[in-house]
Structure 1
């Protein structure tokens, strides 16, 4: 039976009990991600659902290994280029309008007046986790791959589909922050105990359990949309966030803006009504996405990792290792040239074998880049000179490597040679 709008990234199936199954099944891909096309179709489905006469919705994946792995980061890089090509005065608006579409679609889904359950049998990460959080009822298969996570901070971003607002409201600030800041994942009984999942079933039984819940005629509303509901830890949010912020800045020395932005989202959004809160989240996201750090980290830690894995499968070009070795030698992170230079490397976020104790200085907490904003010192000047030499060394290799090989080389430089992820390497991203 034909039901609902015509979709390509999702499939719709209607049961005899009038429950519609929204099946995320991107054609030609082994993994579902939230592409622009998928986001648009989600909005179309939510609009249709509100005026339909179905009993409710069961969301599930058409892929065997995962529910949804998050955003399409290649499309995200294209969006970054579009935003930054615009006039500076237009960038905030462009970023907000482009990226708010997912949050808006999820909000329409959870307020459509129909009970929505999700059956998770594999990875639900990033936007996939946010998709699950927008359901009224979450059923999780008791399987190692069935996992919730919001790893956006690991590539310099924040969950912009309502993740910084729904998760703390569901499981509390203390339990939510490791997921939001550190990429921690929840699965199995731990997810149920935290309040993230409502049911844990044997593998293969999660869809039937989700359908049973829909047919039980439950209340089709999120906790935050119920009369007089408020987050229990909202009154102490500023104290909890201040403590976490101080510790985080001491660890990162202000080089990574995503954790700060995530803490801003929670602190500002939790006391607000939900519709205001997700707009606050997106305003902060729109600022973050314009910074260099997320672009560098996505290009290096995500795209570079994929390129590195492909290179390993077909046979690694030996020039990659040679290029990284030459650049690493030029940087000289493990230099014996004195404590001041070692301290300069440590303050800039390089991994060193002989790390000195670096006291946190609030002056650099809001710095864009350490090497741009810290007061000039002899150690800093030495580091600048080393980075200039490394840039020259990298430039000599760029024409010998293709785009994929340059990204793979940056991945090795960051993950194995101690180069800071926020700088993104020197072969593809560089310091510009």
Structure 2
């Protein structure tokens, strides 16, 4: 059979060689073609009477970098239905499941860094061998992208390392060296790079059991599973509290990862457990947070030297004007009778590093003449929109463009990454909804958030700031 992203070659010793080589890419990344072709090659392997097993390796200098971020960032704007998102998300999962249940042993030879979907491919193989090169990194960093592992990582990893270690690796996006991976059982062997293929072939020729441990009747997850297990129940409570404190409910991915880890591991059937993960993953691909984080923190950041950007006069002016507007909004709300500590707490819950009153130079803690019970959502919106409007004014005056404004706002003063930055905040709502929000806050709460006529005119022509993805 002929493939676009990999090759299948039976060898004389009865071991098939599956080499991954995504065309047109300097490193292997997951593409829809690779998603599908891995399943096709798994079925080819199962039907090939000339081989007893297979080895999987990369034809490039590294193993696999994970998903294609330029493709993933388009998911949100594609406005896919939940059913379509689920269907597209399960292709890779089904292909890896076909590989690990093909009835023949499959070893993977990891010659370089394997992240995200690359490591998930390795986890679906029956034996994992890595080159003992200290520069190699193995990990599942999807949470740092606003996603979760979507190719079985939230289910296979805890069945290998136990739930506690898997939770740490997934929630923190840790990247392990081969030595660290070997220590926790993430890989089975670490050998010199020149010995990878030979070692993998030798393992397959030893006629090992072609069944994953979790598919063997009576398998139990190391360290226990299920909320009826008191130790696991306490772990879940602890991690839930930690995620709430660290992410303040603004990031859906860590919560989704916890649900996968705990709900999926209570299910004995791997296929049903994988369905839990696919539901969670596909929902995240339809959420703007993943789009915002990937676009700003990875795609827009590529090639930009952050230190130089932040020292640029335009970024300094952007920062000063945004923070001045933020502080003024906080002072105005405090003067209108809103409890100062409440303002600060809501700023913190929104993911902002410092409260506006903490940044204010004047004493804002004097008692106001009257007390206001403004809704928390209104306080939050006023604090965010004040900064964003100031950024839009900088854009209008051609001081800074949206891409660099997003980068400068996040890396310069900690504007929350889940928004993607000050301009992505607008882009997520759409210009017209953002303008309507500012007008509503101004009329109802006296927020003094008046969008300029330039911004209103622009919204009539185009509702978004960033161009639609190709």
TM-score, shorter chain, exceeding 0.5: yes
Query: Structure 2 length as normaliser, TM-score?
Result: 0.77
Q: Give the distance between the partners of 1:123 and 1:397, measured in 2 at CA.
A: 44
Q: Secondary structure at the match of 1:97?
A: helix
For 1:419, the equivalent position in structure 2 comes to 415
Q: Is residue 328 from structure 1 mapped to residue 324 from structure 2 by the alignment?
A: no
Which of the pair has more CA radius of gyration? 2
Specify whether residues 319 and 193 from structure 1 end up closer, same or farther in structure 2 by C-alpha distance, changes over 3 A only: closer
User: Residue 177 of structure 2 aligns with which residue?
Assistant: 187
Partner of residue 73, structure 2 = 77
Retained in 1: the 8 A contact 2:323–2:387? no
1:360 counterpart residue number:
none
Alpha-carbon displacement from aligned partner over 1:181-226 (angstroms, at most 9, x marks no partner): 0111222232112111111112321221111101100000110111
> Where do 1:6-405 residues align within 5 Å?
6-53=2-49, 54-64=51-61, 66-82=62-78, 84=79, 86=80, 91-232=81-222, 233-235=224-226, 236=229, 237-272=232-267, 273-308=269-304, 321-332=312-323, 335=327, 340=341, 342-352=344-354, 375-376=375-376, 380=380, 383-396=383-396, 401=401
Secondary structure of the corresponding residue to residue 17 of structure 2? strand
* Alignment partners' CA distance in 2, 1:152 and 1:13: 32
Give the match for residue 436 of structure 2: none
Q: How far 1:28 moved relative to its partner? A: 2.6
**1:311-351 C-alpha deviation (Å, 9 max, x unpaired):** 99xxx8x8994543333223218959666555443221122
Contact 1:120 1:146 in 2 (8 A): no
Structure 2 residues without counterparts, runs of 5 or longer:
332-339, 359-373, 430-470
| Matched positions, count | 395
Does the CA-based 8 Å contact 1:330-1:393 persist in structure 2? no
Q: Structure 1 residues 142 and 332, CA, compared in 2 at 3 Å: closer, same or farther? A: same
For 1:429 and 1:387, the matched residues in 2 are separated by: 10
Tell whether the 8 Å contact from 2:314 to 2:400 is kept in structure 1 after alignment.
Answer: no
Q: In 2 relative to 1, CA 407–44 (structure 1 residues): closer, same or farther, beyond 3 Å?
A: farther
Kindly report the root-mean-square deviation, in angstroms, between the aligned alpha carbons of the 2 structures: 2.8
1:152-208 Cα offsets, whole Å, 9 max, x none, are 000100001000000000001111112110111222232112111111112321221
Label 1:196 to 1:327 Cα distance change in 2 as closer, same or farther (>3 A).
Answer: same
Q: Measure the CA separation in 1 of the matches of 2:86 and 2:60.
A: 31
Deviation at 1:308, TM superposition (A): 2.3
SS in 2 for 1:306: coil
Cα distance between partner residues in 1 of 2:259 and 2:196:
36
Match of 1:365 in 2: none
Instruction: Please give the per-residue CA displacement for 1:98-124, whole angstroms capped at 9, x wherever unaligned.
Output: 111000000000000111000112110
C-alpha distance in structure 1 between counterparts of 2:398 and 2:104, whole Å: 55
3-state SS, counterpart of residue 293 of structure 1: helix
Relative to structure 1, the CA distance from residue 292 to residue 219 in structure 2 (aligned partners, 3 Å threshold; closer, same or farther) is same
Following superposition, the deviation at residue 93 of structure 1 comes to 0.7
Matched residue SS, 1:230: coil
- Tell me the SS of whatever aligns to 1:129: helix
Q: What TM-score do you get using the length of structure 1 for normalisation?
A: 0.84
Going from structure 1 to structure 2, the CA distance change for 1:25 and 1:145 (only over 3 Å counts) comes to farther
Q: How far apart in 2 are the matches of 1:331 and 1:194?
A: 46
In 2, Cα distance between equivalents of 1:60 and 1:156: 28
